[in-house]
Amino acid sequence: MAITSMKKLLLTLILACLCSFSIALSSALASHTADSVEVFEAIDEFLTSIPADYHRVGDTQALKDLMKRDNPLVIDVREPSEYADGHIPTAVNIPLRTISQNLNQIPKNRPVVLYCRSGYRTAMALTSLQLLGYDNVQSFTPSLAGWQAAGEPIEP
């Protein structure tokens, strides 16, 4: 069997195990009413404490203004190969899957702006960093696609 086929089989098995674990965990939480209430309350407290517009830089001009005014760290959360194909000038690459291993590169005392290709990975990274105590992180909601659509340059 080719290595690629082995990898696909292994990934399929891992995903199946994760799904089974997730179902078992959900059942376990549901059977412990007090635990479920605590989990719900913690999630509710987190979600309701989010300021209305804390999380986004809504357009290209706003990002350009922020970059001039506050010198944020702009982080591209896409994979290295995507970053190499082109990224917003001055952006650094910290792929989504490695965010928690690279917290030493993400300041808490300076604005941080995250982006990806379309916004999905950005949202996951933003939420993760918020849960880890970062209150200085925003997403660039137009993402790279919006940056390019606005005619802005990208760096290879």
Active site (catalytic) residues:
116
Tell me which residue of 94, 95, 99, 106 sits closest to 136, measured CA to CA: 106
- Judged on CB neighbours under 10 Å (0-12, 13-18, 19+), 30 is exposed
CA gap 101, 123 in Å, rounded:
18
Residue 104, φ and ψ in degrees, nearest 5: -65, -15
Tell me which residue of 57, 143, 58, 51 sits closest to 96, measured CA to CA: 143
